[in-house]
A and B are shown apart, each in its own frame.
Chain A
Amino acid sequence: MQVLTAIVGRLVKAFLTLLAIAILNFFLLHAAPGDPAVVLAGEAGAADEQMIEQLRERFGLDQPLYVQLGKYVWGILQFDLGYSFRQGAPVSELIADRLPATLLLTMTAFGISLVCGIAVGVAAAARVGKPSDTILTTLALLFYATPLYWLALMAVLVFSVWLGWLPGFGYETVGANYTGLERMLDILKHLILPALTLGLFFMSVYMRMTRASMLEVSQLDFVKTAKAKGLSGPAIRRRHILRNAILPVVTLAGLQAGQLVGGAVLTETVFAWPGIGRLMFESLAARDYNTILGVFIVSAAMVIFFNIVTDLVYRIVDPRIGATA
Chain B
Amino acid sequence: MRHLKATTFLIAAALAAPALAQQEGGRLDIVVQPEPPGLMLGLVQNGPTQLVSGDIYEGLLRYNTDLEPQPGLAESWEISEDGLTYTFKLHDGVTWHDGEPFTSADVVFSADVFLRETHARLRSSLAYVDSIEAPDDRTVVFNLKEPFGPFINAFEVGTMPIVPKHIYEGTDYATNEMNATPIGTGPFKFDEWVKGSHIHLVKNEDYYIDGLPHLDEIFYRVIPDAAARAVAFETGEVDVLPGGSVENWDVPRLTEMDGVCSTGKGWEFFAPHAWMWLNNREGPTADQKFRQAIMYALDREFVKDVVWNGFGTVATGPISSKTNFYSDDVTIYDHNPEKAKALLEEMGYDGEPVRVLPLPYGETWQRWAEAVRQNLSEVGINVEIDSTDVAGWNEKTSQWDYDMAFTYLYQYGDPALGVSRNYVASQISKGSPWNNVEGYENPELDEKWEAAATMVKPEDREAAYAEIQKEIVDDVPVAWLLELEFPTIYRCEVKNLVTTAIGVNDGPRDAWIEE
Contacts and interface: CB of A to CB of B under 8 A. Distances in A.
Q: Do A and B come from the same complex?
A: yes
Interface residues of B, number: 58
Contacts of A47: 120, 432-434
A288 to B, nearest CB: 8
A156 interface: yes
Interface string A166-195: 011111001100000000000000000000
B309 interface: no
Nearest to B179: A88
Contacts, number: 172
Contacts of B38: 86-88
A294 interface: no
A89 B177 CA distance: 9
A275 B119 CA distance: 32
Given A46-B434, A175-B27, A175-B200, A41 B235 contact: no
Interface string B422-435: 00000001011110
Contacts of B228: 156, 168-169, 269-272
B174 interface: yes
B196 A278 contact: yes
Contacts of B227: 153, 270
A52 B29 CA distance: 35
B372 interface: no
Contacts of B396: 33
A161 B235 contact: yes
Nearest to B176: A88
B222 interface: yes
Interface size of A as a range: 35 or more
Contacts of B391: 32-36, 38-39, 285-287
A275 B174 contact: no
Given A35-B395, A153-B227, A274-B196, A45 B45 contact: yes
A35 B394 contact: yes
A279 interface: yes
A174 B395 contact: no
A38 B219 contact: no
Contacts of A36: 391
A214 B116 CA distance: 71
Interface string B195-207: 1111010000000
Contacts of B410: 45
A40 B37 contact: yes
B243 to A, nearest CB: 15
Interface string B1-36: 001000000000000000000000001010000110
**Smallest CB-CB A-B distances: 8 pairs:** A34-B391, A274-B196, A43-B46, A46-B121, A51-B120, A44-B45, A47-B432, A272-B223
Given A43-B37, A160-B235, A168-B232, 4 more contacts: A40-B37, A51-B120, A168-B231, A175-B200
7 contacts: A34-B389, A34-B390, A38-B433, A39-B390, A45-B434, A48-B124, A160-B235
Interface of B: 3, 27, 29, 34-35, 37-38, 44-47, 117, 119-121, 123-124, 174-175, 179-180, 194-198, 200, 217, 219, 221-225, 227-228, 231-232, 234-235, 237, 388-392, 394-396, 398, 409-410, 421, 429, 431-434
